[in-house]
Structure 1
């Protein structure tokens, strides 16, 4: 959503990774975008629990990905499901790392979204809610990593309200910023030797 060609951050990230010498194959039961490697497992409007249900699809985790990029939680906040969202994120992260032993999981921080998407009666500024969720997500990732899971965070905070096409989904420029955040995080986990074939 918000991407003029349906590429989201994926084509720009693909180009960055392949330019850096990585061999990339996108996996997933969905297809969208203007490039050949356009498979993904993104679901518009889904809260964390619904994403977790989709993760049971054999075309998702059953494909045994080497790397999973997870951006989830915005819809929980926007749909009045803020309470318990970090705990649901942790359960999903644990599902991913359990179902695919050795997988690298990178969790993205949530960008803010426009006041019009805030739940009725909950205040007009999403930033405090987003910041609270991101702080909790970072603690979850750190805790899981300390226990041996290959879990890291991607800082997507460069995406601002002005980078959103409709106040909640990034425009092309916003997706390019998101791509840069994912790429940096992938470089960091590759430097740790987490990714297959990396050193």
Structure 2
């Protein structure tokens, strides 16, 4: 028996060395995100998402009425997020169909409508607004200023001071006046997001009309706008809304990777 003590001591030394250098194991469901980063289900902050805008956010020309909201929600939940859509309105046949959208609203009207939903304390606000300003040719040179005012009205509210803003550029349209003004509004929105990020605002861009369309998510007329054989000049069909959902999703991932969402 005495000869076994040196062997036992050596074995204990080996176990100690292995334990001190082993990589800690962390439980959780891992999901890849854009850029190759990895997160666990436990790490994901539950999302209270406010879809804010006008008829495109409402889902006009979507057969289901869900617009981009259902495919976006499905993508988020499938990668581990708990999602609660919020808003004072309900539309579409999807689960959790809350929304804050009013057809025909211009930016200033979207700003006013948003106030009714801030009581739900959204930590992510998706903004798609300005198409009606373009269509009605309303002070296009000041669209970015009006959008800044909308965003600041959300961030100044007591319940949403720490919310994350996801601002989208405007999707293509074949309505002549809208399309004539859209590129300038999009330019202002890109500049606005860049400037507000420098001001330490939690804001990211969902670019619906990027210079490079590597992910094939830019909407194309008429195939992404045609429902039951009729092409809409402004509103996507289900296929088009799914493309929008992809862009929103990537923007939410970016916000999450930056640590914006709380």
TM value normalised by structure 2: 0.68
Residues 85 and 97, structure 2, Cα contact 8 Å, conserved in 1: yes
Map 1:1-199 to 2 at 5 A. Answer: 1-57=60-116, 60-81=117-138, 82-99=140-157, 100-116=160-176, 118=177, 126=179, 128-157=180-209, 158-162=218-222, 163-165=224-226, 166-196=232-262
Contact 1:111 1:160 in 2 (8 A): no
* Relative contact order higher in (CA < 8 Å, ≥ 6 apart): 1
Distance 1:86 1:161, change over 3 A: farther
Shift of 1:147: 0.8
Tell me the TM-score normalized by structure 1: 0.89
Q: Does the Cα contact within 8 Å between 2:170 and 2:208 map onto a contact in 1? A: yes
Question: Which ranges in structure 2 are unaligned for 5 or more consecutive residues?
Answer: 1-59, 210-217, 227-231
Kindly tell me the number of residue pairs found equivalent between the two proteins.
186
For the 8 Å contact 2:115–2:154, the answer to whether it is kept is no
Give CA-to-partner distance per residue, 1:67-89, whole Å, 9 cap, x none.
Answer: 00000100001012134222111
The answer to whether the 8 A contact 2:137-2:181 is kept is no
CA radius of gyration, larger in: 2
In 2: Cα distance, 1:193 partner to 1:148 partner:
12
Q: Secondary structure in 2 aligned to 1:56?
A: helix
Q: Could you say what secondary structure the match of 1:161 adopts?
A: coil
TM-superposed deviation, 1:129: 2.1
Deviates more, 1:84-93 or 1:156-165: 156-165
Distance in 2 of aligned mates of 1:62 and 1:71 = 20
- Runs of 5+ unmatched residues, structure 1: 120-125
Runs of 4+ in 1 over 4 A off after TM superposition: none
CA-based RMSD of the aligned residues comes to: 1.3
